Amino acid sequence: MNKPDIHITSIFPILGSLRTYSKHDFKGDLNAGVTVGIMLIPQGMAYALIAGLPPQYGLYAALIPLLIYAMLGTSRHLGVGPVALIALLIASAVAPIAESPEEYITLSILLTLMIGSMQFLLGLFRMGFLVNLLSHPVLSGFVSAAAIIIGFSQLHHLLGIDSVTGGLHEMILGIAVQYSEMKPLSLAIGGGAIAMILILKKKLPSFPGSVLAVIAGIAFIYLTNLQEKGIAIVGEISVGLPAFVIPEIEWQTIVNLMPMAVAIALVAFMEAIAVAKSVQQKSKEYKVDPNRELVALGAANIGGAFFQSFPVSGSFSRTAINYESGAKTGLAGIISAGIVGLTLLFLTPLFYYLPNAILSAIIIVAVIGLIDFWQMKRLWKLGHYDRYMMIAAFAGTLFIGVKEGILLGVTLSVIMLLYRSARPNHVVIGRIPGTSVYRNIERYQTENNPDTLIFRFDAPLHFANAEYFRQKVNELININPGITCLILDLKGVNEIDTTGLDELIETIKDVEEKKVLVKLTEVKAPVRDLMNRGSHNKEDWTFYMSIEDAVRSLNGGNTSSENGGYTIHIDTK
């Protein structure tokens, strides 16, 4: 009887959290849901502007996806909906190929379906590890640069000039040439909104300052009619819930959007899982499952695509407010979606007089927090080459383009992964005096037998580094002509492929041709098995349990050698 129930709650985690639901829990969910819902309204419209879409599409993205994630997500606090970074990526993906405003909307919705489908399938096949293609330094550089691009892209609303696009240098030039056309009043409205939001954020962190800025901006324009003097306003917003629409699917369009769709799918998930895990660690009341989060986020985007939503992810700010406001279950997200739905049905006419400068102010304040100064400082202090990867992703995004920046980041991450794999750490080790412990002779004071060399290789031995392994061993033999024994410490080799096996055998042949005895120590069972199956019979080689055993065997001492089925035969002739 319990099995179906368990199965249902594994699909819909919200049902499990509602089993012990109380009035206290509902109070927390209601408070958080209303707060985040009110906050979502100006944010959604603002992020729609970044994505290049009409304001109401930001509200559409805060409705259906929120409801679906609330039922399927394993995080009880994650604030799913429109976010600034993903909105910028949408514009970068769609703008180059859309030929009209109508096509722009159509392609944005199709992109949502593509991203959702990818995330859903990745979650089903438990492939969340693919997000590791973007290393933390690269992602930090990309996000920080994207935040600056977003901020500068909104200055034209703040200054009352024509829009500017391109890299940072192009936007600065575009703003500079329009200096004489700037509207001080528009700057005053936007600057005042920024100051209001920042002050409220410092003094009353849980209070949605952006909402107060929106109310003040609408009231100010309504009373002064400054729109007649050139102050840009949002204007008429469509009333009503989003209609059910089947996205238009064309193969060539899918091919054109695919590279950015893959990138957005991974970045959106990374952003969502990062914030979900950080809040879950504070809460400690539940666990976040990355693969199920992929399924939930994918389903939210798929469902949203049929109701005119652009791609969504998890918001840092709204998730934090959910947690601080006392949210206990996914019901908080459903309440937030309800607030947005009521706004679409009855309140959109109230936003007619909302100045665009206010929305820009909301965006600018939001993206300031995305600039990761701490990570930049930390990487520079560590002196690791990761800092150069971060700088490359940062500069590429800032001066070349968002699409190019993220492609550069992924490429650099993969290249560095391959480089580290092909050139792993390797050391000559010796015994620490008075012990049977062996360490790097360059870092520790060790005692060494001049006739014996002990070499440790700290990586799986495979096609990418096998030749490197052979090269380094032969170099050591050549610069140490007096040795009579080479001990290969292979405890770091937890895997070996056929190329690695061939090169290991050839390395042993090379060394023994120079009249040097080879001993293998601490070889892991899977590696031993493959060596045993892939070798030929001529001469026996014995594996030793430890380096100490191999050293003792040279003097005829007792050892713990591994025999019986683990002896390998290598043709040395």
The fraction of the chain above a pLDDT of 70, given in percent, is: 93
pLDDT score of 47: 92
Q: Is the pTM of this model over 0.85?
A: no
Instruction: Read off the pLDDT of each residue in 362-382 and give the average, rounded to a whole number.
Output: 83
Cβ atoms < 10 Å from Cβ of 149: 26
What is the rounded average pLDDT of the residues 55-79? 93
CB atoms within 10 A of CB 539: 14
Is the pLDDT confidence value at 558 over 70?
Answer: no
What confidence score (pLDDT) does residue 15 get? 78
Query: What proportion of the chain, given as a percentage, has pLDDT over 90?
Result: 42
Residues 217/218/224/229 CA torsion (nearest 10 deg): 80
pLDDT interval class at 540 (50, 70, 90): low
Asked whether the predicted pLDDT for residue 89 surpasses 70, the reply is: yes
Confidence tier at 4 by pLDDT (50, 70, 90): very low
**What pLDDT band is residue 568 in, cutting at 50, 70 and 90?**
very low
Domain ranges within the chain, ordered by starting residue? 35-416, 426-570
Mean pLDDT of the region 90-105: 93
The CATH number of the domain covering residues in 426-570: 3.30.750.24
DSSP H helical ranges for 309-351: 316-324, 331-342
Measured CA distances, 558 to 352, 450, 524, 554, 565 (Å): 89, 22, 21, 10, 20
Q: Which residues pair with 38 in a beta bridge?
A: none
CA proximity to 86, closest of 306, 293, 267: 267
Q: What angle do CA 139, 65, 253 make, to 5 degrees?
A: 70
Is pLDDT at 197 greater than 80 in this prediction?
yes
Give the burial string for 223-250 (b: 16+ CB within 10 Å, else e): eeebeeeebbbbeebeeeebeeeebeee
Average pLDDT over residues 550-570: 57
